[in-house]
Amino acid sequence: MPATPPVALVTGAARRLGAAIARRLHAAGYDVALHCHASRAQADALAAELEAARAGSTRVLQADLAQFDRLPELVAKTIGRFGRLDALVNNAAAFFPTSFGSVTPAQFDALFAANVRAPFFLSQAAAPHLKAARGAILNLSDVYARQPRADLSAYATSKGALEAMTRALAVALAPEVRVNAIAPGAILWPEAGGDAVQQARILAHTALARTGTPEEIAETALWLLRDAAYTTGAVIAVDGGRSPL
């Protein structure tokens, strides 16, 4: 480890995949800036857990990523706390069904604000610091970017745009900064509940015949951010061998 630990900013870090990624990076020696929006209590609890393992290694940053001015502010506060930035994890996302034919502009804009605009402008704000550290960006996409469902038309479109952005930024920021994405399959079912029949269909189309774990996503995240020195512009499917429904 260097004398000054590497630093990662993880959006949507309070819960679910974001928390798993933050824990894995922290265990690997990173200091972490934990972004949250509505989940401040969970973010504070995660920070306390990580601080118990290594004091002075976290900062919680609360912001609505739909507010443009908060994006460069997140980067500035991370630099102000830790003095460097080695990794940006664009994990925070919006997800809700949108059946084509009834999608509203407000729904479309909400999905693109969270899933495309915020990652793009966070990456732009972070780029000078990541270049100085020869760091990396990781975007969290989704299997639905390439295998859309009819009821997720706008969501799938937004994640497809995120994958295009991954490739574009890999070119724009080369050679100093690597930019990659993970496209998870069935890892965590939606918190609002789900259709048990649909879930069974998904697993029937998954070669490994099980859901993945957040920790399996987090291990891939660490590899892409720290170890995959000759990988950029890639979208890595961590989906258990998912085939189209």
Catalytic residue numbers read 155
Residues in the chain: 245
DSSP 8-state code for residue 187: S
Express the helix, strand and coil content of the chain in percent, nearest 5 each: 45, 15, 40
Tell the residue number behind the tokens 């995949």, with chain if given: 17
User: Checking DSSP bridges between strand 178-184 and strand 87-90, what pairing results, if any?
Assistant: unpaired
Separation of alpha carbons 74 and 3, rounded Å: 24
CB-count burial class (<10 Å; 0-12, 13-18, 19+) for 25: buried
Helix pair angle (105-112, 153-172), 10° resolution: 30
Helix pair angle (16-27, 40-53), 10° resolution: 20
Tell the residue number behind the tokens 């998904």, with chain if given: 202
